[in-house]
């Protein structure tokens, strides 16, 4: 494992379902025009990172975002980065789900026919292991909930720790280190992101 490894996270740009708050797991829908503009707008922040490796979800909204960031020729499609499988809750908003399951969240209640937090964590743990083994900065382009779990797991938290990391569309976040401790260096940023962070002293 390389203590110098970093992971930069980019959530895909807006889709019709992300705009309306519908849970979008494996449904393969495209970016909206605004989503494409969002991805282009955040491209300079992604370009400022010293990216050595690129991993992207196979779903169209993530791959289109990766292309608009300018990394299409370097991207490794990684099935472990697909969004959380919401099962029978796919396409529903939280308000709609809570009509029958009061207080429901993806972090605290099951997704019937879908994935558990532990199952999502097992996938992102493999992504983290690959990035730490490779060293340098790995850019990961994927989806809101799976990236929130990835952040939690990088920090050594249980997968439901992702509840604390709100993640908007077309934002750049950076996971790195302070000495030997994995830390959050940037989160949910739309502006310029430093290429590499100095280690803490």
Which residues are designated catalytic? 12, 83
Is 181 buried (19+), middle (13-18) or exposed (0-12) by CB count in 10 A?
Answer: exposed
**SS3 of residue 195 by DSSP:** coil
Tokens for 119, please give them. Answer: 């199952």
Cβ within 8 Å of residue 112, ≥6 positions away: 87, 88, 89
Task: Give me the helices (H) in 48-116, please.
Answer: 60-69, 94-98
The b-or-e profile of 38-62 (16+ CB within 10 A means b, else e) is bbeebbebbeebebebbbbbebebb
Strand ordering across the sheet containing 172-178:
75-77, 51-56, 137-142, 6-11, 172-178, 181-189
Question: How many whole angstroms from its chain centre is CA 54?
Answer: 13
Tell me the β-bridge partners of 139: 8, 54
Q: How many residues are there in the chain? A: 201
């Amino acid at each position: 494992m390389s203590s110098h490894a970093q992971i930069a996270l980019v959530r895909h740009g807006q889709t019709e379902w992300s705009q309306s708050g519908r849970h979008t797991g494996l449904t393969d829908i495209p970016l909206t025009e605004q989503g494409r503009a969002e991805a282009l707008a955040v491209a300079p922040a992604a370009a400022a990172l010293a990216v050595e490796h690129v991993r992207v979800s196979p779903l169209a909204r993530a791959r289109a975002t990766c292309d608009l960031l300018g990394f299409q020729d370097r991207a490794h499609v990684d099935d472990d980065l697909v969004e959380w499988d919401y099962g029978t809750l796919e396409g529903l908003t939280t308000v709609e789900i809570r009509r029958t399951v009061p207080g429901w969240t993806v972090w605290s209640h099951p997704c019937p026919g879908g994935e558990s937090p532990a199952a999502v964590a097992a996938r992102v743990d493999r992504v983290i292991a690959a990035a730490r083994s490779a060293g340098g900065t790995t850019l990961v382009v994927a989806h809101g909930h799976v990236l929130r779990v990835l952040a939690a797991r990088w920090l050594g938290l249980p997968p439901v720790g992702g509840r604390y990391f709100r993640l908007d569309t077309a934002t750049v976040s950076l996971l790195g280190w302070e000495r030997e401790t994995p830390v959050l260096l940037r989160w949910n940023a739309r502006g310029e992101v430093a290429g590499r962070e100095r280690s803490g002293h």
